[in-house]
Amino acid sequence: MNDNLKRRSVVINRVKRIPFVVLLRRFLPFFIFIFIILLTFLFGLWNIKNLQYNTKDLKNVTSSELDSSLSNYIGRNIFATNPNDLIAKITTNIGYVKEASVKKILPNTLRIDIIEHTPLYIGYSSNRCLLFSDTGELINEICKDCQAECTVEVSDLVYINSNTVIESNGKLIFFEEIFKVNQLLLEFNYEISSLNLQDGIALFRDVLGHSFTFDLSNQLEDQLARMYLIGSKINKDMIEYTTLDLRFERPVMNIK
């Protein structure tokens, strides 16, 4: 009996020393791990099934819009999915999206966080009603051949009336100049409600009925400096007026 056990032990030890068996014993856990991983891919464990959004923080972008835009990504392998592709898809298809970030949550979920544009300007140009953000980006086209409806849409937005196009390459024309004027007027508590833009000459109107005229295409910095000096004097002396034209070295003011 003992001889049989000895022979069996010798045979087993010899088998264990065979190079193939040694190699197999050494790498067997690795092979098992790879096999299990292959099974998870085969059965779609890593395929995208869930899209999560921060919609509770959004005012204009809805989960249904995001689902529609990203429907083609459902079922794709999460590792083979490039987050930058999703971001490009979202920002291209949904105008209100300013920024987006994508986080992969294994095994099959994408977490998508959105930052929206803040709408501020609306204008009618080339038979189109266009909505722009506070950074001058074109958000979307609201309607065509609808000037009356476009004016009604104003509410808390600055309405722009222009005799030329107001959009170029997805950006509000003269935005930087308009922004500078708007910021300075806000320093003196003038909240702009509308802007009439004719060949670079801009007539800003505030909610209290004041109007300010600037030439956005010529020596704007000088006009802003005049506005700062005159605005300070108006506040100090409590001057009541209706219009103020800053295009001239001696600005023209209509006193009430």
Domain regions of the chain by residue span: 2-42, 50-116, 119-255
Q: Is 134:120 a contact under the CB 8 Å cutoff? A: yes
Phi first, then psi, for residue 127 (nearest 5°) are: 65, 25
Q: How far apart are CA 170 and CA 102, in angstroms?
A: 24
Q: What was the pLDDT predicted at 51?
A: 93
Q: Is 206:213 a contact under the CB 8 Å cutoff? A: no
Q: What was the pLDDT predicted at 89?
A: 93
Q: What is the pLDDT of residues 224-248, one digit of tens each?
A: 999 999 999 998 998 899 999 999 9
Q: What was the pLDDT predicted at 104?
A: 93
- Nearest Cα to 70, choosing from 54, 45, 93, 47? 93
Q: What was the pLDDT predicted at 36?
A: 67
Q: Is 12 helix (H, G, I), strand (E, B) or coil?
A: helix
* CATH of segment(s) 119-255: 3.40.50.11690
Tokens 């490009």 belong to which residue? 88
Q: What was the pLDDT predicted at 4?
A: 62
- Nearest Cα to 168, choosing from 137, 198, 207, 192? 137
Q: What was the pLDDT predicted at 146?
A: 87
With a cut of 50, which residues of the chain have pLDDT below it? none
Q: What was the pLDDT predicted at 139?
A: 95
Q: What was the pLDDT predicted at 130?
A: 94
Q: What was the pLDDT predicted at 38?
A: 73
Reading the block at residue 24, the tokens are 């197999």
Phi first, then psi, for residue 108 (nearest 5°) are: -150, 30
Residues 6+ apart with CB under 8 A from 220: 177, 180, 181, 214
Mention the CATH class of domain 50-116.
alpha beta
- Taking CA atoms, 181 is separated from 168, 175, 223, 225, in Å, by 20, 10, 9, 11
Residues 6+ apart with CB under 8 A from 240: 255, 256
- Nearest Cα to 52, choosing from 44, 65, 62, 63? 63
Reading the block at residue 253, the tokens are 């003011």
Reading the block at residue 206, the tokens are 């505030």
- pTM listed for this prediction: 0.78
